[in-house]
Structure 1
Amino acid sequence: MFETLINSDQWKELNKKNIFFNPGCYKINDSINPDTYIDKTELILHFNELIEKVKDEKSFICDSRPRRFGKTITANMLVAYYSYTESEIPFFKYKKISKTENWDKYLDEFNVIHLNMINYFLEHDFEDGKKIISMELCKEIKRRIPNFKFQDKNDLKMILKDLNELTDRENIVIIDKYDLIVRKKEDEDTIKKYLNFLIGLFKDKHETSVVLVYMTGILPLKQVGINSGLNNFSEYTMINPSWMAKFIEFTEKEVDDLYDRYEKKGLSRNFKNRMKKWYDGYKLIDENNLKYEIYTPYSIINALYYREIRNYWNKTETIKFLSNYINMNYERLKEDIGFLIKNKKIKIDVKSFQNDFTSINSKDDIFTLLVHTGYLGYDKENKEVFIPNKEIKEQFELIMMSNANWKFTMNKLVQSENLLKATLKGDAEIVAKYLEDAHDDGSNNTYNNEATLSYAIQLAYYKAEDYYIKSLEVDSGKGFADIVYFPTEEGIKRDYPPFIVELKYNKTAESGIQQIKNRGYPKRLEKYYGKILLVCINYNKEIKSNCPGYKHHSCIIEEIEKKKT
């Protein structure tokens, strides 16, 4: 008789694991490998504080990180801790959290609803996905609480209200991959409906007795208006991680600890150093200005497991994703990518980004998107982006090598760097040569006047803008200097002098140098003392290619010393 019972459909239904309603520990147990598990359970203490201060309206969290940065395992950990159960929960017993007094204050105390939006919206439209959420949740609640009475099985908000009233327990909602519909590039109307669905669900926490919401995604919250109901969420991102910084996957110390486990299995110290070069580089700053070097967790784990250092990102997916945006080529985007590949940093403004994949209107929007998706790191102090490590750099290089236009772009970047070096050394002959090469490579091989010459020279000196602020037509009181390069803080650190560029068209370089002196252009550099470079570039339109030593460009560079008076 007992054997008949345990083989019955009724028994199987009763013993099914819950996926959505109070799932307990099975998800976290299934998702970790003891050899590579990093204990992040102290994160829960922060959430407990938020629950205690629920009236402060800070307990609705949106945590956005790149893919494979531990969002799902964090969600599973919270599910395991807060899910109501009458059974013992051994998972946390020897974890870091257990060393804190009253660590178990909220252990298994709440009704937890865990939704992974992939299950509902990857293959279903919004309306069908919403129905599936309610249907599956009601089925699981009934399995656990057979006498449960629903006021409206199709209204998720009403289900939360009923849960609180019938169980006398408050609710926690955990949503993984909240931004799936946004990333699927659904039409604007569908995205708005979905976001309004979330707003309706969470705008009145007292009505539904929701004490904590934790949502994960790759993108920060997409707002539907100035007064969006999602404004009640606190956001933690790769740009502004705040107290979440040390919990956004592996810190340097955690990688060291993890490596020590594997070193006993025969891995060399050199392997560790190589691993760090390949997978480190994300720099995060918390609310106390503490800095963390963050490593790509998925790649670290795979490198240790397979004992091989290589690229573990999905190359096909990555190249397609990057190419789609880089080929837009806003504002000389390709040249900036070239600088990034050469381990340089680029200043950006992150404020215009609309938190989606489609509202891209500028180079800054593309770079901000690449920060959120993990393809670029972000230096918050200097507001600069950079390629964080060798693994990511390899992806950019693959794009560069697969496109002939990129090879041309990279050559121009090398020329620009060499041009700046030659200028700072005062090597006028080399400067003229590089300008001649840039002229020969350009699409417009004839400059019609000084204005077109000025534009071409500015492009050639593109690299200088890493270390200088460029000003055009600077007034000296007696005339206007064509271009003045004022060193930035980075330039001053490198002891780079300011330099003035005077342009001449069908005249002589000597006349340009004399004009700089006669009109007192160096006096315009009133804040600068010491070395100043005077650079005059002349373009001779009339010279013929059969002339001896034929060259359109000539250059003179003089160094003057400006002393304090």
Structure 2
Amino acid sequence: MTDIRYISTKEAAGIMGLSTRRVVGLCNAGKLEGALRKGRNWMVPEETVYAYLGTAKPKEENGEILSCAVGNTSYMDVVKNSYYVDKTLLIRDLIDDQVPVILFTRPRRFGKTLALDMLKTFFEKTKEDTSIYFKDKQIWSCGEKYQKMQGAFPVISITFKDAKFSDWASTYAAIKNVIRDEFMRHNELFTSDRLNPVEQDYLSRMQTDELSDVEYTRSLLNLGRMLEKHHQSKVVILIDEYDTPIQQGHSRSFYNEVITFMRNFMSGGLKDNPSLAFGVLTGILRVSKENLFSGLNNPIVNSVLDEKYSKYFGFTVDEVNTMAAYYGQEAKLEELREWYDGYRFGSTEIYNPWSVANYFYNNCQAKPYWTNTSDNEIIREIMISLTPDIAENLFALLQGQTVQASLNMDVIYPRITDGTDTIFSFLLLAGYLKPVSDAVETEFGTFMELALPNKEIRRVYNTEILSWLRGTVDGNVMAGLEKALYLNDGKKLQEFLRKYMITCISCFDGAAEGFYHGMMLGLAAGMSSRYYIRSNRESGEGRFDLVLEPKVHSLPGIIMEFKATKNDAGLSASADEALKQIEDKHYDTDMKDRGIKEIVKYGIAFAGKNVEIANG
């Protein structure tokens, strides 16, 4: 006689793809055989849950616990060999909604590629019976309407994830290889008797890379037409990471070239295409119609703010609870929550799936797994264009506070650093921020309260923002800066700042005052254990730039005012002007009112990589 393993209604809900309330209802109605009430809660036999779904328990193979799939984006491999979090109801919703083209924007590593491969495996007509990969999944229990669409379509499946090169020529060559590989994958076309000689010639020249640039822009359209003619069926088009080459174009100064190609390429295949059954795209940003989708007027954009499809990318709370129970790690749920929870898509609470999978794969070691999968180049670009307001908001986030932001959800790469609304919109879409409240729509725009999601993202801000701002000079710059500030040694402070800026990147040349403000705010953050760091606050008769208010009154208070000039000639006068502003505007009022007797004042003027300090 085998022991019966009971699970909670929450765990059962995660396995069944239902709400906990619905599972409780099934227990009350006697539809889950063997369910037992314990106090106010129900416990359900695990085997009953799978029996209700009509599937076998997908747990052990040869008595072994299945490992978490890390980095494997092949749906068939994952469901055969690894623990799989069932997201197949995405198929049901796409079929029901009948949207011609949909773009899912989600942060990187949140399951977009695996989801598209799942769609490809489900819909694609192949010689192999691929229904075996779905018969024990939630989609199969949805009925014949969905089952008959399995394996019913030719599928074009393209990913641009590897189109990352420093120039347009190399990127374009990579894009052409991606397109050519997809043509070659459909080798049935090369012997098809349903294609005319012109189409066969096109295929021949595709193989030998003899197509013109114009012909490549129409290749998605042409492949779809040929597949429809051969299979006598409309085509499903799946494009993963459509914005990767666009981001590269922005970062490497070939944005116009890549956006022109991608606009024509996707419009040809996805706009008013009679061969198209439906299309699904994924990316991080929803590039605005004026820049990419001007020729494509029919895409639905589903972002992190939308309720529909919110549970299909990332892991829900119930799914993580079920995983923890599977691996016998329920005691680790609080640590999981602190490190990898905190996202919100629509109204659904979401965990980072990449990090959760790595956490279980690495024997429950809490590390910043997600933040190590990218160079975060866009974050550093944002730092170059800091304004005082943005710098203050970033520091508030690091101290666990929330910020109110105006959002521009049509943000595009060339305008990421245009202002607070675009910067914080990008950080939200890319997974570096989470919404704390619902969006408020006003006649002036969309407003939302934002915060850092979890410990892992706090780490990326510390490493990519504060560490980048602080830098290191001979391994001792922070200690030297702190010592100079404590001793009220303006000359020593000036010396250390000059050394620091000389060793930093060339963005200091011609930088605005806001950049230097952000730089100093980042440097000061290293002293947050002993000081309250305040930026751009009112005191006396104006708003100071930066104040370090001591947590212990034996330390001196510090006030800094910044100026930026275009050349070295005006540095000394600007530093004196900044110091005079501190005195004239009585920026020391608040600290004096709090009983801080010793207050050091610095007027700091910057020009390129040079600095001058006046102190009093």
Q: 1:229 to 1:312 in 2, by over 3 A?
A: same
How many pairs does the alignment contain? 412
Say which SS state the counterpart of residue 450 (structure 2) adopts. strand
Q: Which amino acid aligns with 1:385?
A: L
Matches for 1:191-206 after TM superposition, within 5 Å: 191-202=258-269, 204-206=271-273
The Cα of 1:353 is off from its aligned counterpart by: 5.3
User: Deviations 1:55-107 (Å, cap 9, x if unpaired)?
Assistant: xxx32011111111101000000000100124322000010111112231311
Q: What is the aligned counterpart of 1:135 among 180, 183, 187?
A: 180
- 1:316 Cα deviation after fit: 8.5
Give the Cα separation in 2 of the matches to 1:133 and 1:316.
Answer: 23
Aligned residues of 1:120 and 1:130 also touching (Cα < 8 A): yes
Q: 1:410 to 1:85 in 2, by over 3 A?
A: same
Aligned twin of 1:370: 427
Equivalent in 113, 120, 129 of residue 79 of structure 1: 120
Question: Is residue 45 from structure 1 mapped to residue 92 from structure 2 by the alignment?
Answer: yes
Partner SS, residue 245 of structure 2? helix
Match of 1:563 in 2: none
Corresponding position of 1:445: 579
Equivalent in the alignment of 1:158: 222
Question: Does 1:242 pair with 2:283?
Answer: no
Instruction: Measure how far apart 1:457 and its partner are.
Output: 8.1
Report the equivalent of 1:408.
524
Say which one has the larger Rg.
1
The alpha-carbon distance between structure 1 residues 442 and 112, as it changes in their structure 2 partners (threshold 3 A), is: same
Retained in 1: the 8 A contact 2:271–2:296? Answer: no
Task: Give the TM-score normalised by the residue count of structure 2.
Answer: 0.59
**Aligned residue in 2 for 1:533:** none
Corresponding residue to 2:286 among 206, 212, 220: 220
- Distance change >3 Å, CA 60–CA 445, structure 1 → 2: same
Offset of residue 37 of structure 1: 1.3
Corresponding letter in the other structure for 1:348:
A
> CA–CA distance in 2 between the matches of 1:415 and 1:26?
44
Residue identity in the other structure for 1:246: K
CA contact (8 A) 1:331 1:362 kept: no
Correspondence 1:298 to 2:354: yes
* Alpha-carbon separation, structure 2, partners of 1:327 and 1:33: 47
Counterparts of 1:230 and 1:380, CA distance in 2: 32
Q: Which residue of 2 aligns with 1:69?
A: 110
Distance of aligned partners of 1:33 and 1:411 in 2 relative to their CA distance in 1, 3 Å threshold: farther
CA distance in 1, matches of 2:292, 2:283: 21
1:354 partner SS: coil
| Equivalent residue letter for 2:431 | G
| Aligned residue number for residue 191 of structure 2 | 146
Of 60, 78, 97 in structure 1, the residue corresponding to residue 139 of structure 2 is 97
Equivalent residue for 1:254, pick from 319, 322, 346: 319
Counterpart contact for 2:192–2:230, Cα < 8 Å: no
2:56 maps to which residue?
A: none
TM-score w.r.t. the length of structure 1 is 0.64
Equivalent residue, structure 2, for 1:115? 158
8 Å contact kept, 2:342–2:350: yes
**CA distance in structure 1 between the partners assigned to 2:140 and 2:409 by the alignment:** 43
1:133 offset after TM fit, Å?
Answer: 4.5
1:343 is aligned, of 389, 393, 400, to 400
Cα separation, partners in 2 of 1:66 and 1:379, compared to 1, 3 Å: same
1:11-35 CA-partner distances (Å, limit 9, x unpaired): xxxxxxxxxxxxxx99311345755
Counterpart for residue 59 of structure 1: 100
Residue 17 of structure 2 corresponds to none
Q: What residue is the counterpart of 1:390 in the other structure? A: 455
| Residues 92/448 of structure 1: CA separation in 2 closer, same or farther (3 Å cut) | closer
Distance in 1, Cα, partners of 2:150 & 2:433: 38
Deviations 1:497-528 (A, max 9, x none): xxxxxxxxxxxx9xxxxxxxxxxxxxxxxxxx
Percent identity, please. Answer: 19
Secondary structure of the residue aligned to 2:345 is strand
Match of 2:52 in 1: none
SS in 2 for 1:166: helix
Counterparts of 1:163 and 1:85 in 2: how far apart (Å)? Answer: 13
Q: CA deviation at 1:345?
A: 1.0
- The superposition leaves residues 442-469 of structure 1 with CA deviations (integer Å, 9 ceiling, x where unpaired) of 453333897x45xx589x89xxxxxxxx
2:334 corresponds to 1:273: yes
CA distance in 1, matches of 2:190, 2:73: 20
2: CA distance, partners of 1:160 / 1:313: 36
CA deviations on 1:321-351 (whole Å, 9 max, x unpaired) are 5333234222332221111112111111122
Q: Are residues 226 and 167 of structure 1, via their aligned partners in 2, closer, same or farther at CA, if it must alter by over 3 Å?
A: closer
**2:189 corresponds to 1:189:** no
For residues 192 and 80 of structure 2, the distance between their equivalents in structure 1, rounded to whole angstroms, comes to 39
Shift of 1:437: 6.6
Letter in 1 for 2:524: F
Question: CA contact under 8 A between 1:183 and 1:357: conserved in structure 2?
Answer: no
Q: Distance in 2 between matches of 1:130 and 1:341?
A: 39
Structure 1 residue aligned with 2:236, among 152, 167, 172? 172
Offset, 1:315: 3.9
Kept in 1: contact 2:75–2:121 (CA 8 A)? yes
How many Å separate the matches in 2 of 1:125 and 1:550?
60
Aligned CA distance change for structure 1 residues 299 and 119 (closer, same or farther; 3 Å)? closer
- The answer to whether the Cα contact below 8 Å between 1:62 and 1:235 also exists between their aligned partners in 2 is yes
On the 8 A contact 1:353/1:369 being kept in 2, the answer is no
Q: Which residue of 1 aligns with 2:63?
A: none
Q: Using the TM superposition, give the Cα deviation of residue 43 of structure 1 relative to its aligned residue in structure 2, in angstroms.
A: 0.7
* Runs of 5+ unmatched residues, structure 1: 1-24, 52-57, 286-290, 421-429, 462-508, 510-536, 538-548, 554-565
1:327 and 1:38 map into 2 onto residues whose CA distance is 40
- Give a deviation string over 1:231-262, Cα, whole Å, max 9, x none: 31111112x23311111210111000011100
Structure 2: which 5+ residue stretches go unaligned?
1-71, 204-214, 440-447, 471-477, 479-519, 539-548, 563-577, 602-616
Question: Which residue identity does 1:97 align to in structure 2?
Answer: I
Q: Is the 8 A contact 2:344 2:435 kept in 1?
A: yes
